[in-house]
Structure 1
Amino acid sequence: MSTTPTSTLRFCLRQWSAWAPGLETREAWSGWDGTLPHGDASPKVDAMPAMLRRRADRLGKMTLETLYAPDIAYHGQPLIHASRHGEATRTVPLLQALARDGAVSPQAFSMAVHNATAGLFTIATRTHAPVTAIAAGPETALAGLLEACSQLADGAASVLLCFSDEPLPALYQPYADTAEAPFALTLDLVAGDDFTLGTGAACTEDATPLSLLHFLLGGETALPLSIRGGWQIVRSAM
Protein backbone atom coordinates (compact mmCIF):
# COMPACT_ATOMS: atom_id res chain seq x y z
CA MET A 1 0.00 0.00 0.00
CA SER A 2 1.32 3.43 -0.90
CA THR A 3 1.96 5.87 1.94
CA THR A 4 1.65 8.94 -0.30
CA PRO A 5 -1.33 11.05 0.88
CA THR A 6 -3.92 12.20 -1.63
CA SER A 7 -4.36 15.68 -0.12
CA THR A 8 -1.66 17.12 2.10
CA LEU A 9 -0.45 19.69 4.58
CA ARG A 10 3.25 20.00 5.41
CA PHE A 11 5.26 21.10 8.42
CA CYS A 12 8.58 20.95 10.24
CA LEU A 13 9.15 20.33 13.93
CA ARG A 14 11.42 23.16 15.08
CA GLN A 15 11.44 22.28 18.78
CA TRP A 16 9.56 20.29 21.39
CA SER A 17 9.16 19.89 25.13
CA ALA A 18 7.34 17.31 27.25
CA TRP A 19 6.68 16.45 30.88
CA ALA A 20 5.22 13.42 32.64
CA PRO A 21 5.88 11.66 35.96
CA GLY A 22 9.18 9.84 35.57
CA LEU A 23 9.88 11.62 32.26
CA GLU A 24 10.85 15.04 33.49
CA THR A 25 13.89 15.83 31.33
CA ARG A 26 14.60 16.02 27.64
CA GLU A 27 17.11 13.18 27.97
CA ALA A 28 14.49 10.93 29.55
CA TRP A 29 12.09 11.56 26.70
CA SER A 30 14.77 11.01 24.07
CA GLY A 31 15.27 7.48 25.45
CA TRP A 32 11.56 6.83 25.99
CA ASP A 33 10.31 3.49 24.62
CA GLY A 34 6.66 4.53 24.30
CA THR A 35 5.48 2.97 27.58
CA LEU A 36 2.70 5.04 29.12
CA PRO A 37 3.93 7.14 32.06
CA HIS A 38 2.21 6.97 35.42
CA GLY A 39 2.45 8.55 38.85
CA ASP A 40 1.19 11.45 40.92
CA ALA A 41 4.11 13.86 40.57
CA SER A 42 3.51 17.43 39.46
CA PRO A 43 5.99 19.98 38.06
CA LYS A 44 6.85 23.15 39.95
CA VAL A 45 6.53 25.61 37.01
CA ASP A 46 9.12 27.87 38.63
CA ALA A 47 9.17 30.17 35.60
CA MET A 48 5.58 31.34 36.20
CA PRO A 49 4.59 34.05 38.70
CA ALA A 50 3.37 32.37 41.89
CA MET A 51 0.02 34.22 42.02
CA LEU A 52 -0.95 32.76 38.65
CA ARG A 53 0.75 29.40 39.13
CA ARG A 54 -1.27 28.58 42.24
CA ARG A 55 -4.47 28.74 40.21
CA ALA A 56 -3.40 25.73 38.12
CA ASP A 57 -4.09 22.12 39.11
CA ARG A 58 -1.74 19.31 38.06
CA LEU A 59 -3.01 19.19 34.48
CA GLY A 60 -2.47 22.91 34.12
CA LYS A 61 0.97 22.76 35.72
CA MET A 62 2.09 20.00 33.36
CA THR A 63 0.88 22.08 30.43
CA LEU A 64 2.56 25.25 31.66
CA GLU A 65 5.83 23.45 32.38
CA THR A 66 6.13 22.50 28.71
CA LEU A 67 5.15 25.97 27.50
CA TYR A 68 7.81 27.56 29.71
CA ALA A 69 10.49 25.03 28.75
CA PRO A 70 13.79 26.63 27.66
CA ASP A 71 13.60 24.85 24.31
CA ILE A 72 10.28 26.51 23.47
CA ALA A 73 10.85 30.05 22.24
CA TYR A 74 7.46 31.66 22.80
CA HIS A 75 7.21 35.07 21.18
CA GLY A 76 3.48 35.59 20.79
CA GLN A 77 2.80 33.08 18.01
CA PRO A 78 -0.60 31.34 17.83
CA LEU A 79 -1.17 28.79 20.57
CA ILE A 80 -3.31 25.65 20.27
CA HIS A 81 -4.16 23.66 23.38
CA ALA A 82 -5.69 20.25 22.67
CA SER A 83 -6.94 18.04 25.49
CA ARG A 84 -9.40 15.17 25.25
CA HIS A 85 -10.75 15.51 28.80
CA GLY A 86 -9.52 18.92 29.91
CA GLU A 87 -9.97 19.80 33.59
CA ALA A 88 -12.09 16.76 34.44
CA THR A 89 -10.76 16.67 38.00
CA ARG A 90 -12.26 20.14 38.46
CA THR A 91 -15.53 19.57 36.62
CA VAL A 92 -16.57 16.48 38.61
CA PRO A 93 -16.73 18.36 41.96
CA LEU A 94 -18.47 21.25 40.21
CA LEU A 95 -21.13 18.97 38.76
CA GLN A 96 -21.59 17.29 42.13
CA ALA A 97 -21.99 20.68 43.81
CA LEU A 98 -24.48 21.74 41.15
CA ALA A 99 -26.53 18.59 41.70
CA ARG A 100 -26.37 18.96 45.47
CA ASP A 101 -26.66 22.72 45.97
CA GLY A 102 -27.94 24.07 42.66
CA ALA A 103 -24.94 26.41 42.34
CA VAL A 104 -21.18 26.33 41.80
CA SER A 105 -18.25 28.53 42.76
CA PRO A 106 -17.55 31.09 40.00
CA GLN A 107 -13.87 31.01 40.87
CA ALA A 108 -13.72 27.22 40.60
CA PHE A 109 -15.66 27.32 37.34
CA SER A 110 -13.30 29.89 35.79
CA MET A 111 -10.42 27.39 35.84
CA ALA A 112 -12.52 24.43 34.69
CA VAL A 113 -13.12 25.68 31.15
CA HIS A 114 -11.07 24.20 28.32
CA ASN A 115 -9.02 27.30 27.53
CA ALA A 116 -8.25 28.28 31.14
CA THR A 117 -4.61 27.15 31.22
CA ALA A 118 -3.80 28.76 27.87
CA GLY A 119 -5.43 31.91 29.20
CA LEU A 120 -3.20 31.85 32.30
CA PHE A 121 -0.15 31.53 30.06
CA THR A 122 -1.05 34.50 27.87
CA ILE A 123 -1.82 36.60 30.98
CA ALA A 124 1.54 35.70 32.51
CA THR A 125 3.42 36.43 29.28
CA ARG A 126 1.36 39.59 28.60
CA THR A 127 0.60 38.66 25.03
CA HIS A 128 -2.52 38.88 22.90
CA ALA A 129 -1.77 35.81 20.85
CA PRO A 130 -4.68 33.94 19.31
CA VAL A 131 -5.53 30.82 21.32
CA THR A 132 -7.47 27.79 20.08
CA ALA A 133 -8.81 25.17 22.50
CA ILE A 134 -9.63 21.74 21.08
CA ALA A 135 -11.29 18.59 22.41
CA ALA A 136 -11.99 15.93 19.79
CA GLY A 137 -12.39 12.68 21.70
CA PRO A 138 -10.12 9.89 20.48
CA GLU A 139 -9.14 12.05 17.48
CA THR A 140 -7.72 14.90 19.57
CA ALA A 141 -4.16 14.28 18.30
CA LEU A 142 -5.33 14.54 14.69
CA ALA A 143 -7.54 17.56 15.35
CA GLY A 144 -4.77 19.50 17.06
CA LEU A 145 -2.24 18.73 14.35
CA LEU A 146 -4.71 19.51 11.58
CA GLU A 147 -5.50 22.90 13.15
CA ALA A 148 -1.80 23.71 13.52
CA CYS A 149 -0.99 22.74 9.93
CA SER A 150 -3.98 24.72 8.66
CA GLN A 151 -2.75 27.83 10.47
CA LEU A 152 0.71 27.37 8.98
CA ALA A 153 -0.79 26.93 5.52
CA ASP A 154 -2.76 30.12 6.11
CA GLY A 155 0.43 32.08 6.68
CA ALA A 156 1.42 31.73 10.34
CA ALA A 157 5.23 31.75 10.66
CA SER A 158 5.06 29.29 13.54
CA VAL A 159 2.49 27.67 15.82
CA LEU A 160 2.75 26.20 19.30
CA LEU A 161 0.70 23.01 19.56
CA CYS A 162 0.24 21.84 23.15
CA PHE A 163 -1.38 18.57 24.23
CA SER A 164 -2.12 17.57 27.82
CA ASP A 165 -4.31 15.06 29.61
CA GLU A 166 -4.45 12.84 32.68
CA PRO A 167 -6.48 9.76 33.64
CA LEU A 168 -10.17 10.34 34.21
CA PRO A 169 -11.49 10.72 37.78
CA ALA A 170 -12.71 7.51 39.41
CA LEU A 171 -16.35 8.40 38.72
CA TYR A 172 -15.70 8.27 34.97
CA GLN A 173 -13.23 5.39 34.88
CA PRO A 174 -15.89 2.77 33.93
CA TYR A 175 -16.44 4.72 30.70
CA ALA A 176 -12.78 5.06 29.67
CA ASP A 177 -12.23 3.45 26.26
CA THR A 178 -8.43 3.43 26.22
CA ALA A 179 -5.42 3.39 28.55
CA GLU A 180 -4.61 6.90 29.73
CA ALA A 181 -1.63 8.64 31.28
CA PRO A 182 -0.69 12.00 32.82
CA PHE A 183 1.40 14.04 30.40
CA ALA A 184 1.87 17.33 28.58
CA LEU A 185 3.83 18.13 25.45
CA THR A 186 4.36 21.20 23.31
CA LEU A 187 5.42 21.17 19.66
CA ASP A 188 6.87 24.26 17.99
CA LEU A 189 5.82 23.81 14.36
CA VAL A 190 6.87 25.82 11.31
CA ALA A 191 6.21 25.57 7.60
CA GLY A 192 8.38 23.08 5.74
CA ASP A 193 8.55 19.67 4.14
CA ASP A 194 9.90 17.38 6.87
CA PHE A 195 6.48 15.86 7.56
CA THR A 196 3.33 15.51 5.48
CA LEU A 197 -0.15 15.29 6.94
CA GLY A 198 -2.81 13.90 4.66
CA THR A 199 -5.13 11.05 3.81
CA GLY A 200 -4.49 7.74 2.18
CA ALA A 201 -3.73 5.08 4.81
CA ALA A 202 -6.07 2.63 6.50
CA CYS A 203 -6.00 2.81 10.30
CA THR A 204 -7.37 0.48 12.97
CA GLU A 205 -6.65 2.64 16.02
CA ASP A 206 -6.66 6.39 16.64
CA ALA A 207 -3.25 7.82 17.46
CA THR A 208 -2.78 9.59 20.79
CA PRO A 209 -0.66 12.71 21.41
CA LEU A 210 1.93 10.48 23.10
CA SER A 211 2.14 8.17 20.10
CA LEU A 212 2.47 11.27 17.92
CA LEU A 213 5.44 12.46 20.00
CA HIS A 214 7.02 9.00 19.90
CA PHE A 215 6.76 9.05 16.11
CA LEU A 216 8.19 12.55 15.76
CA LEU A 217 11.19 11.67 17.96
CA GLY A 218 11.75 8.31 16.27
CA GLY A 219 12.58 7.16 12.78
CA GLU A 220 9.43 5.46 11.50
CA THR A 221 8.27 6.38 8.03
CA ALA A 222 4.56 6.88 8.71
CA LEU A 223 2.06 7.09 11.54
CA PRO A 224 -1.65 6.37 10.95
CA LEU A 225 -3.65 8.93 12.93
CA SER A 226 -7.37 8.32 12.63
CA ILE A 227 -9.76 5.50 11.90
CA ARG A 228 -12.14 7.87 10.12
CA GLY A 229 -10.73 9.31 6.91
CA GLY A 230 -7.44 7.44 6.93
CA TRP A 231 -5.34 10.39 8.09
CA GLN A 232 -1.63 9.82 8.53
CA ILE A 233 1.74 11.55 8.90
CA VAL A 234 4.54 10.65 6.51
CA ARG A 235 8.17 11.50 7.25
CA SER A 236 10.10 12.85 4.26
CA ALA A 237 13.02 10.81 3.01
CA MET A 238 16.36 12.02 4.34
Structure 2
Amino acid sequence: MSTASPSFTLTGWSAWHPALPDADAWLDWAARGGPLPAGDGAPPLAQMPPLLRRRAHRSGRMALQAMYDAAPGDDCAIVHASRHGEVERCLGLLQALAAEGTVSPQQFGMAVHNAIPGLFTIARRQPLPVSAIAAGRATAWAGLVEALAQLADGASRVLLVVADEPLPPLYQPFADEPQAPFACALTLAPGTQWRLDWQADAAAASAETAAATVLRALLTGQGCRWRDQGRRWRLEPTA
Protein backbone atom coordinates (compact mmCIF):
# COMPACT_ATOMS: atom_id res chain seq x y z
CA MET A 1 0.00 0.00 0.00
CA SER A 2 1.27 3.49 -0.79
CA THR A 3 2.37 5.66 2.11
CA ALA A 4 1.17 8.83 0.44
CA SER A 5 -0.07 10.17 -2.88
CA PRO A 6 0.18 13.97 -2.96
CA SER A 7 -0.50 15.79 -6.21
CA PHE A 8 0.71 18.99 -7.87
CA THR A 9 0.72 20.98 -11.09
CA LEU A 10 3.93 21.90 -12.93
CA THR A 11 3.63 25.53 -13.99
CA GLY A 12 7.16 26.08 -15.32
CA TRP A 13 10.64 24.59 -15.64
CA SER A 14 14.19 25.44 -16.60
CA ALA A 15 17.36 23.36 -16.78
CA TRP A 16 21.06 23.79 -17.43
CA HIS A 17 23.70 21.44 -18.85
CA PRO A 18 26.74 22.47 -20.93
CA ALA A 19 25.65 20.35 -23.91
CA LEU A 20 21.90 21.18 -23.79
CA PRO A 21 21.69 24.91 -24.51
CA ASP A 22 17.93 25.50 -24.74
CA ALA A 23 14.46 24.10 -24.09
CA ASP A 24 14.29 22.33 -27.46
CA ALA A 25 17.54 20.47 -26.70
CA TRP A 26 16.16 19.37 -23.33
CA LEU A 27 12.90 18.18 -24.86
CA ASP A 28 14.84 16.21 -27.48
CA TRP A 29 17.00 14.61 -24.76
CA ALA A 30 13.89 13.65 -22.80
CA ALA A 31 12.19 12.14 -25.85
CA ARG A 32 15.25 10.12 -26.92
CA GLY A 33 15.94 8.63 -23.49
CA GLY A 34 19.38 7.69 -22.27
CA PRO A 35 21.70 9.38 -19.77
CA LEU A 36 22.70 13.00 -19.72
CA PRO A 37 25.47 13.68 -22.26
CA ALA A 38 29.05 14.43 -21.35
CA GLY A 39 29.95 18.07 -20.90
CA ASP A 40 32.03 20.55 -19.00
CA GLY A 41 31.93 24.22 -18.13
CA ALA A 42 29.70 26.54 -16.12
CA PRO A 43 26.89 28.91 -17.08
CA PRO A 44 27.68 32.60 -17.56
CA LEU A 45 25.17 33.68 -14.91
CA ALA A 46 25.08 37.14 -16.46
CA GLN A 47 21.94 38.12 -14.52
CA MET A 48 23.76 38.10 -11.15
CA PRO A 49 25.91 41.06 -10.02
CA PRO A 50 29.63 40.17 -10.38
CA LEU A 51 30.41 40.66 -6.67
CA LEU A 52 27.89 37.96 -5.81
CA ARG A 53 28.44 35.79 -8.88
CA ARG A 54 32.10 35.18 -8.11
CA ARG A 55 31.16 33.64 -4.75
CA ALA A 56 29.52 30.63 -6.41
CA HIS A 57 31.47 27.69 -7.81
CA ARG A 58 30.22 25.55 -10.71
CA SER A 59 27.51 23.61 -8.90
CA GLY A 60 26.16 26.80 -7.39
CA ARG A 61 26.32 28.66 -10.70
CA MET A 62 24.31 25.92 -12.38
CA ALA A 63 21.63 26.07 -9.69
CA LEU A 64 21.57 29.86 -9.80
CA GLN A 65 21.25 29.91 -13.59
CA ALA A 66 18.28 27.55 -13.38
CA MET A 67 16.69 29.75 -10.72
CA TYR A 68 17.17 32.92 -12.75
CA ASP A 69 15.72 31.25 -15.83
CA ALA A 70 12.72 30.07 -13.80
CA ALA A 71 12.15 33.65 -12.56
CA PRO A 72 10.21 32.90 -9.35
CA GLY A 73 7.94 35.61 -8.03
CA ASP A 74 7.67 37.06 -4.55
CA ASP A 75 5.20 34.35 -3.52
CA CYS A 76 7.47 31.39 -4.33
CA ALA A 77 9.27 29.37 -1.66
CA ILE A 78 12.55 27.66 -2.67
CA VAL A 79 13.59 24.06 -2.00
CA HIS A 80 17.22 23.41 -2.95
CA ALA A 81 17.98 19.69 -3.35
CA SER A 82 21.60 18.69 -3.88
CA ARG A 83 23.26 15.43 -2.91
CA HIS A 84 26.79 16.85 -2.70
CA GLY A 85 26.37 20.63 -2.82
CA GLU A 86 29.47 22.57 -3.83
CA VAL A 87 31.60 19.48 -3.43
CA GLU A 88 34.80 21.00 -4.89
CA ARG A 89 34.63 23.81 -2.35
CA CYS A 90 33.94 21.37 0.49
CA LEU A 91 36.91 19.20 -0.51
CA GLY A 92 39.16 22.27 -0.53
CA LEU A 93 37.97 23.17 2.97
CA LEU A 94 38.70 19.67 4.26
CA GLN A 95 42.16 19.71 2.69
CA ALA A 96 42.88 23.14 4.19
CA LEU A 97 41.69 21.97 7.59
CA ALA A 98 43.93 18.90 7.43
CA ALA A 99 46.97 20.89 6.27
CA GLU A 100 46.60 24.13 8.23
CA GLY A 101 44.07 23.46 10.99
CA THR A 102 41.85 26.34 9.86
CA VAL A 103 39.54 27.31 7.01
CA SER A 104 38.36 30.51 5.36
CA PRO A 105 35.14 31.73 7.02
CA GLN A 106 33.86 33.03 3.67
CA GLN A 107 34.52 29.70 1.95
CA PHE A 108 32.87 27.85 4.81
CA GLY A 109 29.85 30.14 4.68
CA MET A 110 29.35 29.36 1.00
CA ALA A 111 29.78 25.60 1.54
CA VAL A 112 26.60 25.07 3.54
CA HIS A 113 23.68 23.63 1.59
CA ASN A 114 21.39 26.66 1.83
CA ALA A 115 24.06 29.19 0.79
CA ILE A 116 23.28 29.14 -2.94
CA PRO A 117 19.53 29.82 -2.74
CA GLY A 118 20.35 32.37 -0.04
CA LEU A 119 22.70 34.11 -2.46
CA PHE A 120 19.86 34.16 -5.00
CA THR A 121 17.46 35.84 -2.56
CA ILE A 122 20.12 38.46 -1.73
CA ALA A 123 20.80 39.21 -5.39
CA ARG A 124 17.09 39.44 -6.23
CA ARG A 125 16.24 41.28 -2.99
CA GLN A 126 13.45 38.80 -2.43
CA PRO A 127 13.10 37.49 1.15
CA LEU A 128 11.87 34.08 0.00
CA PRO A 129 11.73 31.11 2.41
CA VAL A 130 14.47 28.57 1.66
CA SER A 131 14.86 24.88 2.53
CA ALA A 132 17.85 22.67 1.71
CA ILE A 133 17.70 18.89 1.18
CA ALA A 134 20.31 16.14 0.80
CA ALA A 135 19.20 12.48 0.84
CA GLY A 136 21.72 10.31 -0.98
CA ARG A 137 20.65 8.96 -4.36
CA ALA A 138 17.04 9.84 -3.55
CA THR A 139 17.78 13.55 -3.09
CA ALA A 140 15.55 14.68 -5.96
CA TRP A 141 12.64 12.66 -4.59
CA ALA A 142 13.17 14.00 -1.08
CA GLY A 143 13.21 17.52 -2.49
CA LEU A 144 9.92 16.82 -4.27
CA VAL A 145 8.37 15.53 -1.04
CA GLU A 146 9.50 18.67 0.79
CA ALA A 147 8.09 20.90 -1.94
CA LEU A 148 4.73 19.10 -1.88
CA ALA A 149 4.64 19.28 1.92
CA GLN A 150 5.04 23.05 1.68
CA LEU A 151 2.22 23.23 -0.87
CA ALA A 152 0.04 21.19 1.47
CA ASP A 153 0.93 23.61 4.26
CA GLY A 154 -0.40 26.55 2.26
CA ALA A 155 2.41 27.73 -0.03
CA SER A 156 1.00 29.11 -3.27
CA ARG A 157 4.07 28.04 -5.31
CA VAL A 158 7.34 26.25 -4.62
CA LEU A 159 10.48 26.36 -6.78
CA LEU A 160 12.25 22.99 -6.53
CA VAL A 161 15.89 23.37 -7.57
CA VAL A 162 17.99 20.22 -8.09
CA ALA A 163 21.69 20.54 -8.89
CA ASP A 164 24.84 18.42 -8.71
CA GLU A 165 28.14 18.11 -10.51
CA PRO A 166 30.59 15.22 -11.04
CA LEU A 167 32.59 14.26 -7.98
CA PRO A 168 36.25 15.37 -7.79
CA PRO A 169 38.83 12.71 -8.77
CA LEU A 170 39.56 11.96 -5.10
CA TYR A 171 35.93 10.85 -4.59
CA GLN A 172 35.38 9.13 -7.94
CA PRO A 173 36.06 5.60 -6.56
CA PHE A 174 32.96 6.05 -4.38
CA ALA A 175 30.62 7.24 -7.15
CA ASP A 176 27.49 5.08 -7.33
CA GLU A 177 25.53 6.79 -10.12
CA PRO A 178 26.18 8.48 -13.49
CA GLN A 179 28.19 11.68 -13.20
CA ALA A 180 27.17 14.79 -15.14
CA PRO A 181 26.86 18.52 -14.43
CA PHE A 182 23.16 19.23 -14.13
CA ALA A 183 20.65 21.67 -12.67
CA CYS A 184 16.92 22.11 -13.05
CA ALA A 185 14.29 24.32 -11.47
CA LEU A 186 10.67 23.17 -11.34
CA THR A 187 7.85 25.53 -10.39
CA LEU A 188 5.17 23.57 -8.56
CA ALA A 189 1.69 24.74 -7.60
CA PRO A 190 -1.35 23.09 -6.01
CA GLY A 191 -3.25 20.97 -8.51
CA THR A 192 -3.88 17.47 -9.79
CA GLN A 193 -1.75 17.31 -12.93
CA TRP A 194 0.81 14.94 -11.37
CA ARG A 195 0.68 12.46 -8.51
CA LEU A 196 3.58 11.17 -6.42
CA ASP A 197 3.58 7.76 -4.77
CA TRP A 198 6.20 5.83 -2.82
CA GLN A 199 6.41 2.60 -0.86
CA ALA A 200 8.91 0.11 0.54
CA ASP A 201 10.62 -1.94 -2.17
CA ALA A 202 13.79 -4.04 -1.92
CA ALA A 203 14.24 -4.46 -5.69
CA ALA A 204 17.51 -3.61 -7.42
CA ALA A 205 18.38 0.07 -7.62
CA SER A 206 17.67 2.08 -10.77
CA ALA A 207 20.75 2.99 -12.79
CA GLU A 208 19.74 6.52 -13.84
CA THR A 209 19.98 9.43 -11.43
CA ALA A 210 16.77 10.41 -9.68
CA ALA A 211 16.98 13.99 -10.96
CA ALA A 212 17.26 12.94 -14.61
CA THR A 213 14.41 10.45 -14.13
CA VAL A 214 12.08 13.05 -12.62
CA LEU A 215 12.86 15.73 -15.21
CA ARG A 216 12.41 13.34 -18.15
CA ALA A 217 9.06 12.19 -16.77
CA LEU A 218 7.81 15.76 -16.44
CA LEU A 219 9.06 16.85 -19.87
CA THR A 220 7.60 13.85 -21.70
CA GLY A 221 4.41 13.67 -19.64
CA GLN A 222 4.84 9.89 -19.41
CA GLY A 223 5.59 9.38 -15.73
CA CYS A 224 8.32 7.18 -14.24
CA ARG A 225 9.31 4.63 -11.62
CA TRP A 226 12.61 4.68 -9.73
CA ARG A 227 14.05 2.47 -6.98
CA ASP A 228 16.83 2.76 -4.41
CA GLN A 229 17.47 2.97 -0.66
CA GLY A 230 14.62 0.56 0.06
CA ARG A 231 11.97 2.64 -1.69
CA ARG A 232 10.09 2.59 -4.96
CA TRP A 233 9.06 6.02 -6.20
CA ARG A 234 6.38 6.58 -8.84
CA LEU A 235 5.50 9.85 -10.53
CA GLU A 236 2.51 9.72 -12.87
CA PRO A 237 0.26 12.14 -14.75
CA THR A 238 -3.31 11.98 -13.56
CA ALA A 239 -4.90 12.17 -17.01
Q: TM-score, normalised by structure 2?
A: 0.91
1:14 to 11, 15, 34: 11
- Alignment-derived partner of residue 172 in structure 2: 173
- CA change 1:57–1:6 in 2 (3 A) is closer
SS in 2 for 1:63: helix
Whether the 8 Å CA contact 2:165–2:182 is kept in 1: the answer is: yes
Q: CA deviation at 1:224?
A: 3.2
Tell me if the contact between 2:163 and 2:183 (Cα under 8 Å) persists in the aligned partners.
yes
SS at match of 2:138: helix
Q: CA deviation at 1:61?
A: 0.9
The residue number in structure 2 matching 1:232 is 234
Matching of residues 132-143 of structure 1 within 5 Å: 132-143=131-142
CA contact (8 A) 1:5 1:197 kept: no
Distance change in 2, residues 1:218/1:204 (3 Å) = farther
**Partner amino acid for 2:105?**
P
Choose 99-108 or 222-231, whichever is displaced more. Answer: 222-231
Aligned to 2:99: 100
Counterpart CA distance in 1 for 2:183 and 2:223 is: 24
CA distance in 1, matches of 2:223, 2:131: 29
C-alpha distance in structure 2 between counterparts of 1:10 and 1:26, whole Å: 25
**Mapping 1:54-203, distance limit 5 Å:** 54-69=54-69, 71-199=70-198, 202=201
Shift of 1:174: 0.7
SS at match of 2:9: strand
CA contact (8 A) 1:225 1:233 kept: no
**Are the aligned partners of 2:223 and 2:234 in contact in 1 as well (CA < 8 Å)?**
no
2:57 partner letter: D
Residue 217 to residue 130, structure 1, CA distance change in 2 (3 Å): same
In 2, the alpha carbon distance for the partners of 1:31 and 1:21 equals 15
Where does structure 1 differ by over 4 angstroms across 4 or more consecutive aligned residues? 200-203
Aligned length: 233
The answer as to whether partners of 2:204 and 2:227 remain within 8 angstroms in 1 is no
C-alpha displacement of 1:24: 1.9
Question: Once the two structures are superposed, what CA deviation does each residue of 1:32-63 show, in whole Å capped at 9, x if it has no partner?
Answer: 13432322221111111111111111111111
What is the percentage of aligned positions where both structures have the same residue?
Answer: 48
Q: Taking structure 1 as the reference length, what is the TM-score of the superposition?
A: 0.91
Query: What root-mean-square deviation, in Å, do the aligned CA atoms of Structure 1 and Structure 2 show?
Result: 1.8
1:106 aligned partner, one-letter code: P
Q: 1:59 to 1:236 in 2, by over 3 A?
A: same
- 1:22–1:222 distance in 2 versus 1, CA, 3 Å: closer
What letter matches 2:88 in structure 1? T
CA contact (8 A) 2:58 2:86 kept: no
The separation in 1 between residues aligned to 2:198 and 2:90, in whole angstroms, is 35
C-alpha contact 2:75 2:156 (8 A) present in aligned 1: no
Q: What SS does structure 2 have at the residue aligned with 1:123?
A: helix
Unaligned residue ranges in structure 2 (runs of 5+): none
